[in-house]
């Protein structure tokens, strides 16, 4: 099967991608069903590896078992508890600021009221909270409120770009994210998102995608080709730079 067998961006093409990626089993990636827990979980996950933010979320829950105890805690105490996950000062301030605003707005430490709002209203409220952008808001909406939205994280954008579903740019604008969401049938948005995250972590990685192991290779126009868009925008640094140099020497 070749990419030409489908019209790029068609529902048929997207449906085939979704069908193949379901081998990952629709993994929730430890996201939470309670919307306020999910919001805190997302704040902790920013720019952090999964093993690290899972540990800091657990540590935070153990230190502050109720939202009230977390709300009353001082910034330094929160920061010390989550220090192992990185960016602890920034994340502690976001958590404290978020809880403070929610309590100020509603008199409660809960986001359950969002269930009564429409999608636009939910997104507007969530993005009014400290440090919460569109992607984070949509994750809360999808994982905790079961809304049919399509969060575009780095894995989702990279895979969709390589599949020819988006403009060939390394980072999307908000309008590009909305345009991509509109292409994805509502009933496929959850499964496509969670399985693209799995696929991006395991196979369609940033620098060296494993096209020889990819279940999408025969319908992907980028298969077995260098990712020029990403490579020209950001050269590997640190560990990745050393790894790249080692690969060149081996070749």
- Where is pLDDT greater, at 3 or 137? 137
Q: What residue spans define the domains of the chain?
A: 3-27+151-219, 35-145
CATH class of 3-27+151-219: mainly alpha
Instruction: Evaluate if residue 245 carries a pLDDT over 70.
Output: no
What's the whole-number mean pLDDT along residues 155-164?
96
179/172 Cα distance (integer angstroms) = 10
For the stretch 45-97, pLDDT in tens is 877 666 577 889 899 999 999 999 999 999 999 999 998 777 889 999 999 99
pLDDT for 31:
87
Q: In 3D, which of 157, 217, 223, 169 has the Cα closest to residue 193?
A: 157
The backbone torsions φ and ψ at residue 226, rounded to the nearest 5 degrees and listed phi first, read -60, 140
Lowest-pLDDT range of 35-44, 101-110, 232-241: 232-241
For the stretch 166-177, pLDDT in tens is 999 989 999 999
pLDDT for 147:
97
Neighbours of 53 (CB within 10 A): 23
In the set 7, 96, 135, 183, the catalytic residue is 135
Q: The domain 35-145: what is its CATH number?
A: 1.10.340.30
The question of whether 135 is a catalytic residue gets the answer yes
From residue 219, how far is each of 27, 64, 181, 205, 214 by CA, in Å?
23, 48, 21, 17, 10
């Amino acid at each position: 099967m070749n990419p030409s067998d489908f019209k790029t961006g068609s529902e048929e093409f997207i449906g085939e991608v979704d069908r193949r990626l379901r081998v990952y089993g629709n993994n929730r990636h430890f996201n939470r069903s309670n919307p306020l827990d999910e919001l805190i979980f997302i704040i902790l996950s920013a720019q952090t590896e999964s093993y690290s933010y899972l540990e800091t979320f657990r540590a935070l829950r153990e230190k502050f078992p109720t939202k009230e105890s977390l709300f009353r805690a001082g910034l330094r105490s929160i920061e010390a508890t989550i220090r192992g996950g990185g960016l602890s000062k920034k994340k502690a301030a976001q958590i404290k600021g978020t809880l403070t605003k929610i309590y100020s707005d509603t008199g409660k430490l809960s986001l359950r009221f969002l269930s009564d709002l429409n999608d636009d209203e939910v997104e507007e409220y969530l993005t009014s909270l400290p440090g919460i952008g569109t992607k984070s808001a949509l994750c809360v909406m999808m994982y905790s409120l079961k809304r049919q939205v399509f969060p575009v994280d780095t894995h989702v954008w990279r895979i969709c770009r390589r599949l020819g579903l988006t403009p060939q740019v390394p980072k999307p604008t908000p309008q590009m994210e909305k345009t991509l969401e509109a292409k994805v049938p509502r009933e496929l948005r959850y499964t496509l998102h969670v399985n693209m995250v799995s696929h991006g972590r395991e196979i369609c990685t940033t620098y060296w995608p494993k096209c020889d192991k990819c279940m999408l290779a025969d319908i992907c126009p980028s298969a077995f080709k260098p990712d020029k868009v990403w490579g020209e925008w950001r050269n590997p640094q640190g560990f990745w730079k050393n790894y790249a140099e080692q690969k060149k020497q081996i070749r």
